[in-house]
Structures are given as structure tokens and as C-alpha cells.
């Protein structure tokens, strides 16, 4: 049957059905991406303290109270960031030094005293806003960590690669640019990104 002879109402119903399928598939794709990001965040927040412990100068990065001040940076996530902060607080200490976890919006970094921080965790995909974290981390010689694909290649100091198992992933150039001294053993076991 020629489609041009279909009654108009049938063509409208078909067009609406196709539009709903397209919308549903993009919505399901967004849910899958969100679930993947949530898994990466859960693994990353548990790996972050081990990576920070590889900073040879971590003990010198205590704040005035003697704690390590860790910054969780985001754009607009609320409850998820609170859960990540609680997970990190539950770790208690890194190398015996107590933790103080602070949630900071990316555009609020300029107001943060970075000299009193020990590390930065990227808690949300930030796109172009990642440049603010790079500048802040380098200015204050902080280890930055992101669990998201591509951020280490963009200049974040550390992240993770997920293959057969989760491996720490470091950007050698970013380590030098941030003035960090990372334990040689950690660098041996980590996957390394080096610009050519």
C-alpha cells in the first residue's frame, strides 16, 4: 500500500510513535551514561585516598587543624556529592592523618584557600570547566583526580583505567606541572600518559 494514501490520522499516529521511540532511546542512553558515571565515581572515590598517599609531600599539606583538606569539585550535583563526601569521610585518614572533606562548586574555586588543601577530586563531568581545576591544582601544587575518561589526557594528574581490573592512571606532564613528587613505586604500578 502506498503511504501517500494512508489516512492523515494514521500518518500522525506513526509520526508520534517514531518521535516517542527516539525520545525514549535518548532517555535510556542518558540513564545508561549516568549509571556508568555513578559506577566510575564509586570506584574513583575509593581509589583517591591511595593515590593521595603516593604524594611524598602529603604530610606537609595539612591544614591549620592538622587534617588533610580534600576538595570535591562539582558543577550542580547535590545529593550525589554528599554521598561521595560521606564515603570519603568514612575512610577516616590517609597515612594516619585525619581527613576534612569540603564540597566546592567549580566556579567557587577562586575563593578557596588552596594553600590549605591537599587534593582535588572531580566529582562531575565538567567539560571546559576542567581548566579551572587544572589552574587551581597547579597553582597550589595539588594532586587532582578524576574518574572520568579523557580527563587525565586533558591535564588532570591522576585517574583510573578500567580494563580487566582498575588501574591508577597518571599524567606525567601534569605531575611535573603541579610540582608533585609521587612515590616511584606508585609510578611503576600506574598506567602512564605521556604527551609526545
Question: What integer is the mean pLDDT of 85-108?
Answer: 95
**In which region does residue 66 sit, left (phi positive, over 0), alpha (psi from -120 to 50) or beta (all else)?**
left
Tally DSSP H helices, then E strands, for the chain: 5, 8
Query: Long-range CB contacts (< 8 A, 24+ apart) of 134-138?
Result: 134/174, 136/109, 136/110, 136/112, 137/178, 138/177, 138/178, 138/179
pLDDT surpasses 70 at 2: no
Q: pTM to 2 decimals?
A: 0.82
pLDDT at 58 over 70: yes
Look at 30-34, 56-60, 77-81, 92-96 and tell me which has the smallest mean pLDDT.
30-34
Confidence of residue 28 (pLDDT cuts 50, 70, 90): very low
pLDDT value of residue 98: 97
Cα angle for residues 87, 90, 94 (degrees, 5° grid): 105
Tell me how far the alpha carbon of residue 118 is from its chain's centroid. Answer: 16
Question: Residue 4: pLDDT above 70?
Answer: no
pLDDT at position 7, please?
A: 62
| Mean pLDDT over each residue of the chain, to the nearest integer | 86
pLDDT of 162 higher than 50: yes
Amino acid at each position: 500500500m502506498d503511504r501517500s494514501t494512508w489516512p492523515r490520522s494514521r500518518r500522525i499516529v506513526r509520526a508520534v510513535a517514531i518521535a516517542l521511540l527516539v525520545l525514549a532511546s535518548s532517555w535510556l542512553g542518558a540513564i545508561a551514561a549516568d549509571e556508568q558515571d555513578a559506577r566510575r565515581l564509586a570506584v574513583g572515590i575509593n581509589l583517591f585516598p591511595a593515590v593521595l598517599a603516593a604524594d611524598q609531600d602529603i604530610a606537609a599539606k595539612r591544614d591549620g587543624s592538622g587534617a588533610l583538606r580534600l576538595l570535591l569539585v562539582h558543577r550542580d550535583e547535590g545529593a550525589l556529592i554528599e554521598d561521595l563526601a560521606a564515603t570519603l569521610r568514612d575512610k577516616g585518614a590517609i597515612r594516619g592523618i585525619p581527613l576534612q572533606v569540603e564540597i566546592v562548586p567549580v566556579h567557587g574555586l577562586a575563593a578557596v584557600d588552596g594553600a590549605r588543601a591537599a587534593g582535588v577530586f572531580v566529582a562531575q563531568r565538567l567539560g571546559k570547566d576542567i581548566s579551572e581545576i587544572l589552574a587551581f591544582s597547579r597553582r597550589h601544587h595539588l594532586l587532582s583526580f578524576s574518574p572520568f575518561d579523557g580527563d587525565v589526557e586533558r591535564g588532570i594528574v591522576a585517574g583510573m583505567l578500567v580494563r580487566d581490573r582498575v588501574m591508577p592512571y597518571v599524567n606525567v606532564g601534569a605531575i611535573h606541572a603541579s610540582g608533585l613528587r609521587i612515590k616511584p613505586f606508585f609510578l611503576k604500578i600506574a598506567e602512564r600518559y605521556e604527551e609526545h
